[in-house]
A and B are shown apart, each in its own frame.
Chain A
């Protein structure tokens, strides 16, 4: 007690920096809450003046409109909430396809940009500079109006080898229809996955024990693939019957038709984002000091081994954080789907908002959903980053 009394005598609390800091924070939070509640109250008052109350119950109402692309059965009698889910899943599918494809293409671009082959290097540099300086919206509209809508009319469809139909109603590709043996095949696939996990752990412990570096990812992947192939050919009936698209009446039927809207949006997003990812990969690789490569070569590792075992693991530490931002950008940029008529989350929400007039409710839902997408992505990427970062002692 005497000690604290002494402290109090030396620093009065209104001059204690630590207390002042905390007080400042508290004041800030209170101010923030206050301004927030003012805005909210103002909005509520404004809506009340027009006889509108905030409620989400309209989501149970019948939507009344059709959506061109749905991943589950949806019709005009479905609810607004189901329409919202249609948009959500469409955004998810574009995002997943986009993230995977732009990562693959971006890594190739990044490595190409550093290639010692003059032509590859210059071409990659030209591509990166061109794309990175474009506006994404313009780019998407170019892909939609300038490329996919300019494909031949349905009646003059161009057929590529493998029954790929190119028309301005979409790109038709053969698609598998499950047959009777499909459930068995699914079991075989699960067995394959289990085996792959076993292979992964065996190879990893082998690598730790002996210090050798087997191609763990490759072998794991090959395990799944070979089990799947064996299952495919051993089963009496093929698990999937290939259904090729045909021109019938006004449209293509059968197979899988990728709409021009989807194609334009994904190609635009992938080609755009991969340019940025290319630069991220390049900077990551360049960040690994030259000494590391020289040391690795001196130890007798060849070029591929050096890249795989020495350069990439170190580059990843630099690559992951900016890569996360690029993924987030891609997911958020997918809302530009509205420009090419692809029914993504934002688009469908816009339609709902128009048909119901529930602007505040819909915008709040869209904002929360994108926030959730972004948080999940960055939590995952941060976890991954944590795992691969340099262990400091």
Chain B
């Protein structure tokens, strides 16, 4: 008799809970059942809050409500994303974050830099831990689709290279047969290396590391005969090796590496803002607007397109969901593409990389901004 009672109560409670889960009418009161149902009622609103649907415009609202932009950056590659001894971030990827903050807030200090490793960057973006990923990330098909991200626009056209000690006598990839190559995990570099070596029929051993620092530390200890990453990365990391002149970058380009910022799928407005921030910087260079002369240009220009970019005519900023002087803020507070480039990778920096493909289309490069209209 008692056993039957137990079984009946178990069924009763299970039924009640299932009914409550299904969003049925409030459970009838009486005995322990009430306690169980109460637990359920507490859980439901919490879950609803977590599962709030994201979509058009949500990222901008979130960022504005929070009061700052969270930008996933590199902290180990001078010239792109680097944190110096004083804790300051610098590099063109970092300046992009500042430009985005300038477009949204008109204030470059309203950005929080969050260093992410190559391995964790996409998860950080997917999970909403960062609003935008600006960390020398190569645009590729898988990342554009399965990884749930959208590449905004290429901010640096790069190619993969190979660095070896100058006294090693290695001048080509074939010379690396039987050797060991240091490479960073979770990168397109790792895949290109395997691809290129397989197509050349060169057998080698990879030594794979978690981040740039450990990759280059192992290379510096001569754990490997060569180290591979994007050429820009090699140039930049060579400056922090103990004797930069003792290392040469081979004259081979193993891949195309278009590097640029990335945002999450599903928020087109945010994508537009991120994209037009890049275009504003490129257009700024095209029109000769710099952070130094932007105020003069603004008061003296007669070009309608410049007026639209600087928010004097039409309402381009409002169309993006921003203030109308978004373009002015970017150019005033951060500068045009050339300024940003020269600050980090120009001739006066230890990480000097000639503009090459990263020149304006008018100078034979690939930089081209769509019309601001």
Contact = CB atoms under 8 A, between A and B. Distances in A.
A42 B52 CA distance: 10
Nearest to A155: B222
A250 B225 contact: yes
Nearest to A45: B51
Nearest to B189: A65
A71 B185 CA distance: 20
A19 interface: yes
A23 B5 contact: no
Nearest to A356: B146
B193 interface: yes
B31 A350 contact: no
Nearest to A358: B146
B114 to A, nearest CB: 17
A35 interface: yes
Interface residues of B, number: 66
Interface in A1-33: 1, 4-5, 7-8, 13-14, 16, 19-20, 22-23, 26-27, 30-31
B122 A354 contact: yes
B194 A338 contact: no
Given A22-B6, A26-B13, A250-B225, A339 B210 contact: yes
A350 B179 CA distance: 25
Given A49-B53, A64-B191, A357-B122, A23 B32 contact: yes
A42 B51 contact: yes
Q: Which of B176, B195, B209 has the most CB of A within 10 A?
A: B209
Interface string A243-265: 00000111101000000110000
B343 interface: no
Interface of B: 1-2, 5-6, 9-10, 13-14, 17, 21, 31-32, 35-36, 39-40, 43, 47, 50-51, 53-55, 118-119, 122-123, 126-127, 142-143, 146-148, 176-180, 185-187, 190-191, 193-195, 197-198, 204-210, 214, 217-218, 221-223, 225, 264-266
Contacts of A354: 118-119, 122, 185-187
A168 interface: yes
A51 B264 CA distance: 10
Q: How large is the interface on A (under 10, 10 to 19, 20 to 34, 35 or more residues)?
A: 35 or more
B160 to A, nearest CB: 14
Contacts of B207: 68, 261, 341
B146 A250 contact: no
B32 A50 contact: no
B223 A4 contact: no
